[in-house]
Structure formats: structure tokens, C-alpha cells
Copies of this chain bind each other. A is one copy, B any other.
Amino acid sequence: MKESLFRPRGIAIAGASRDPAKVGHQVLHNLLAVGYPGQIALVHPQASSILGVQAYPDLAAVPISVEMLILALPADTTPTMVEAIQRRRRERGDLKVVVALAGGFAETRTEEGERLQEMLADGCRTAGVRLLGPNCVGVIDHRNRLDTSFLSVMHRRPSGISVLSQSGSMAAWMAMEWGARPTPVGLNKFISLGNMADMSLPELVGDLSDDPTTRAIGIYLEGMSDVQPFLDAARRASRRKPVVVMKAGRTETGAQAALQHTGAPPGSDELYEQAFPANGLLRVRRVDDFVSTLTTFDRLPLPLGSRLAVLSNSGGAGVCTLDVLADQGVSLARFSPASLTMMRSVLPHFAVVGNPDGYVDMTGGVGPRQVAQAVATALRDPGVDAVFHLFMPTNFNDTEAMAEELLRLLPGLKRNSLEKPLFLVLLGGQSTAQARQLLEEHGMMTYSSPEQAAISFAAMARYAASRQLVRHV
């Protein structure tokens, strides 16, 4: 783990600005807003202070200890900054990490851009300073109250999810989706990869793998020049925690745009399709699936196997969900005779129990208490590894009442079956918002579509299976 990247003692910002529209202002603003606990100093030719933070005319003059330097200056200042970095190392020896935000380097695929990037990377290397970027939005570590980014959308309560992203705006999009969940989810660590002139994807995957507060790793990729070191690092990481990857630029036009965007070669998607699962990586294709799969890994216990029970109070939604689960290669559980008897006695006589195996159409006429009892029975069944509970508000059953019955029964359930994940799929748009919030505040995980739940469970089942393999080897 890079202490100086996630918990630097002292930060200097070169390029801080008084103008709220400028990146150099927003970075300082974010750092103050998250309550960074160390000292901050600015490097600014004229200003004496911005937002109450003391400024100095050059880096050499900064009196505090500076472990991290944030560069919020255009690419053409690189020669001057490299000199300043090397001088600081010589004179003070405190600088350890440079975070270079600006674009205009190798991603432009121009000679000038490549020359400046090489100069920056070489300058840092010879000075013994590590470099994140350039062309990145920085690093966020909510646990350590660090935010060097100019994003304004990250929820701050840290979860166990850490994300590496080759695109800053994708990270912003994902952060907004996480923030819009029934209980907003903040990331644990977020690292914007940028051009990876020094700190590389494999190295940072290794860092997150070692990080005890990271329970699940998410990676957004568009391309890279050397795939094998990444696959090696990901394989090692996935033995310790789930690694979910969204690789864009899958198609010809997507790849062409990706090359313009990050400057990194997108590579053949067929290769990735084989290499990802072979190296333990869990691939998703949509941002909503990325968000819900990682949140699932963070919140729910891993199932011991892949035998899933599905209970629905909507026949139609049940059919659709079984379709989606079959698409994902998920196999259903087989209820024990005791569970079948119990559910038949609890549910209305027109409910369809165990046909197909592992599936219960509780029907729309079912009440809150019956639903909760059926779910409890499924969770207790030794032949069941995980439960899908599909629910739609009806005139006979509102979602809040169902949620409360579930919570009444779940403390006991939790004691008996801590090991089993429960997928609460609450259908019906905004009408279930309150119940979802209530359930999530109790640490549960809810979904608004069968697809999100199915993709999340399939990833979990694949991961659990791979872990078992590792255990048995």
C-alpha cells in the first residue's frame, strides 16, 4: 500500500486558482470539504492565500512538509515543474508523490504530448518521486479524508468498494449512480488512472488487493498496451477479493472512440472475453450492473454454492426473472420436502410452490406476513444457497408492510443463516422507494430490476465457485 498516495503528510497544490470555474480551485475546495487532516500549502506566483490557505511563490519556498504535490497546471509548464520537483527532493527530501491532473500529454498522440509526458515521468523517476497520471482526476480516499479530484459528486460515507478508472467522467457517472441508491454509497478509494506514465494498473490493483478496507475492486478500462501484467495482478487480487471489470471499446466504433479518448490501444475484445474469466475477473457491460454488482459484493455474504430459490408475488415478474437467470446460467435450488410443506401451508392455496424446482409463485393475493414466512422458510432450507425475493406492491400488500414483516422475522433468520445472501428485488419504480430505503438502512441490498439482481448474483456465484476451487487446490 502506498501510504503517501492515500495518506500523504502534507499536500502542496501548484495551480490553485481563485476562480471557482477552474480545476485548480475545485481541487482545493474538495480537499478542504472532505476535511483533509494534514497541512496544505499552495504554490502561486501572486496570491498570498486562496480559500484561507497560505500560498507561496514557488515549491521551494513551501515551509510545511510536502509528501504530495498536486499539479493543476497546463502541460506546457512541465519543464519548470520537473525542475521544481527535483529541487524540492534535493533540498527537503519530503516529496513522495506527484498527482498530475492536466491533459495535453501522450493521450493526444502528438510528438509534443509524448515528449512532455516522458519529461515529467523521467523527472519524477530520477528524483525518486512516484507519479499518478498525467491526465487524471486524482485520488480519493474517504476513509483518510483525502480528495485531490475536481469531481463534485462523490458521496462521502466510505463503503468497502474501491474503483480504478481510466476515465474521469465514467467515475463521476458511477459515483452519481451510487449516490442515487436508496442509501447513498460512497467509495472507499477511487484512483483515476490517467495516462499511467508511472503508477500502473497492475501495481494499483495490487495495492487495492492488499488494502484491508477494500472488500471489492471495480475497474473501468478502455485499453492498455501491455495486458499480461494486468491479468497477472488481477488474478492474484481475485484470490483475495472480487474484481469486477467493465471494459469499454468492445466494438469497432467504440474502440475507435476509446483510442481518441485515452490514447491506449483498446485491444481485441475476443481476447478479453477469454482472458477475463480465465483470470478470475468478473466482467459486466453496463454501468448499472457495475454499480449493483460491486454493491452486492460489499453488502451481502458470499453464498456457499449457487443453488438459488426464487419467490415472487407476481407471476409475470417471476417468469421474466427465471428467463434472465437462465440467460446468466444460474441454476435453481430444490426445496426440501419440509420447506415445500411449510410454504404450501403458509401461502394461499392457488400459489404455485416448487414448479419449476426452487421457484414459488406466491401470487398477487399474498399478504405481508405470508411473504415473510415463505422467504424465511426458503432461507432456512439447507438445499438453498441464496434467495431472490421479488416483490411488487399490490392492493393486497404494500411494500412498507412487507418490509416491516421481513425485518420482524429477519433477526432470527440472520442468526440461523448468516451465510446466505438475500436479493430483495422491489419492482414498481418510485412507489417502493421508502421500503427500499428502510431495508437498506438495515444493511440489506435491494434491486429495482430482475436483471440487476440476476447479474449481481451470477457474478457472486461465479466468484464463490472460483474461491472454492482455490480452497480445494
Contact = CB atoms under 8 A, between A and B. Distances in A.
Contact of A316 (B152, B167, B250, B394): B167
A342 interface: no
Contact of A169 (B256, B314, B359): B314
Given A428-B153, A451-B286, A248 B316 contact: yes
A35 interface: no
Interface string A378-414: 0000000000000011111000000000000000000
A300 interface: no
A91 to B, nearest CB: 35
A186 B394 CA distance: 18
Interface residues of A, number: 74
Interface in A144-188: 150-153, 165-170, 172-173, 176-177, 179-180
10 closest A-B pairs by beta carbon, nearest first, are A180-B429, A167-B316, A170-B316, A251-B326, A169-B314, A254-B323, A261-B315, A176-B428, A254-B322, A256-B356
Contact of A261 (B21, B169, B352): B352
Contacts of A288: 449
A318 B248 CA distance: 10
A50 interface: no
A73 interface: no
A317 interface: yes
Interface of A: 21, 23, 26, 103-104, 108, 150-153, 165-170, 172-173, 176-177, 179-180, 220, 222, 248-254, 256-258, 260-262, 285-288, 313-320, 322-323, 325-327, 332, 350, 352, 355-356, 359, 361, 364, 392-396, 427-431, 449, 451
B392 A169 contact: yes
Given A152-B395, A153-B428, A318 B251 contact: no
Contacts of A248: 316, 319-320, 323
Given A248-B323, A254-B323, A257-B322, A173 B427 contact: yes
B364 A169 contact: yes
A5 B377 CA distance: 44
Nearest to A428: B176
Given A220-B316, A261-B361, A325-B253, A449 B287 contact: yes
A203 to B, nearest CB: 22
Given A170-B320, A288-B449, 18 more contacts: A104-B350, A152-B395, A169-B317, A169-B364, A170-B316, A173-B428, A176-B392, A179-B430, A222-B319, A248-B323, A251-B327, A253-B322, A253-B356, A254-B319, A256-B322, A257-B359, A261-B316, A287-B320
A251 B316 contact: no
Given A319-B257, A395-B26, A429 B169 contact: no
A371 to B, nearest CB: 14
Contact of A318 (B261, B322, B356): B261
Contacts of A359: 253, 257
B168 A258 contact: no
Contacts of A394: 169, 172
12 contacts: A23-B395, A152-B395, A167-B315, A170-B316, A173-B316, A177-B428, A180-B431, A249-B319, A249-B323, A256-B355, A257-B356, A288-B449
A152 B176 CA distance: 32
Nearest to A449: B288
A172 B393 CA distance: 9
A398 to B, nearest CB: 10
